[in-house]
Amino acid sequence: MKLMPTLQIKNICKSFGGVRAVNRCSFELVDKKITALIGPNGAGKTTLFNVVNGFIPADEGKIFFREEDVTDFTVWQRSRLGMSRTFQLSRLFKNLTIKENLILALRQDDDLFWRAFLKRGEGSELNKKIVEGMGFVGLKKNPETSVKDLSYGEQKLFDLTRALLNPHSLLLLDEPVSGVNPVLREKLKEIMRHLKEKGETVLLIEHDIDFVRSVADWIVVMDQGRVLKEGLPEKIFKDPEVLEVYLGPTE
C-alpha cells in the first residue's frame, strides 16, 4: 500500500462573484520536501492557501490532510491536526508581546478556563522553546517587546517563528520574502534549508524566482486559477509555457 502524502488538493474550485479565483486545482505535496507554488499576481495562490487551511470554504473539491478528508473541518481543527501557516501580510496579535504571541502558538489547551485554577509549572519549558525558536530564525529581540515595535522585516521573520512554534506537520508559507531586504532574504534562504534538513513538509508561495530556485524541491505553477505545470525546478524554469505566463512574452 502506498502511503498517502501529507496534503492532497483535489479538484478545488472557488469563485468570488464572477471571478474564478481557483479553477479545478489538484496536486499533492511530497513529504519532507519544499513545494513552491508560483504564478502571476491574481493567479489564485493565496485563495488556494485559504481553502487548504479552511479560511474559505471551497465551492467544489476536497482537501485530504494526513489521510483524513478535512474539507468540512474548521480552521482550528485543521490547525490541531497539524497545519500551520503564515500570512502574505504579517498578522500578529498587535496588543500582545513577542512572548505572548509565541505562547499562544505553543499552547493547545488554553480554551479551557478552569485550567486557570490548576497548578501550572510548564513556564520554563515554554520559555526554552521560545528561546530556541527565536534562535532558530535569528530574531534578536527581548521577548517582552510589543510586536508593534517590530520592523517590517522582523514582523515577517516573527510570523514565521510563530508558525514554526505552532505544533505542526505541514507548514504553509505565503510569500515569506516579499518586500524584505536582500540581507534578510539570504537569511530566510538559510532558514528554509534548515527546515528541509529538519524534514519539514512545506508549501511555499513565492514570487522571487531566485529564492524559489534555491530552496524548492518541487514546483507547482498556477495561472488564472488553474495548475499550469508541475515539476522539478530545473525543468519548470526552462518550460516555454511557464516562462510566458510567469515572465510575460518578453524574450
Ligand X SMILES: Nc1ncnc2c1ncn2[C@@H]1O[C@H](COP(=O)(O)OP(=O)(O)OP(=O)(O)O)[C@@H](O)[C@H]1O
18 binds ligand X (CB under 6 A): no
Closest separation in Å from C-beta 112 to another protein = 7
- Could you tell me which stretch among 34-42, 104-112, 147-155, 164-172 binds ligand X (CB under 6 A)? 34-42
86 binds Mg ion (CB under 5 A): no
Length of the chain: 251
Give the residue, chosen from 19, 89, 232, 247, that forms a contact with ligand X under the rule CB under 6 A. Answer: 19
Query: Which listed option, Mg ion, another protein, ligand X, none, makes contact with residue 94 (CB within 5 to 8 Å by class)?
Result: another protein
Per-residue interface string for the shown chain with Mg ion, residues 159-178, x marking contact by CB under 5 A: --------------------
Bridge partner residues of 15 (DSSP): 20
Instruction: Report the C-alpha gap between 58 and 77 in whole angstroms.
Output: 16
The answer to whether 25 touches 229, Cβ cutoff 8 Å, is: no
- Could you tell me which stretch among 14-22, 69-77, 111-119, 141-149 binds ligand X (CB under 6 A)? 14-22
Show the cell assigned to 183.
540581507
Nearer CB in complex with another protein: 95/250: 95
Per-residue interface string for the shown chain with Mg ion, residues 45-84, x marking contact by CB under 5 A: -x--------------------------------------
Which residues fall within 8 angstroms of residue 8, CB to CB, at 6 or more apart?
28, 29, 62, 63, 64, 65
Show the cell assigned to 214.
534555491
* C-alpha distances in Å from residue 71, one per residue of 18, 132, 133, 137, 171: 23, 34, 31, 32, 18
* C-alpha distances in Å from residue 83, one per residue of 17, 131, 163, 247: 28, 22, 9, 31
Closest separation in Å from C-beta 91 to another protein = 5
Q: Which pairs from 111-118 meet CB under 8 Å and 24+ separation? A: none
> Which chain residues interact with another protein by CB under 8 A?
53-55, 74-76, 79-80, 83-85, 87, 91-96, 100, 103-105, 107-113, 115-117, 162, 166-167
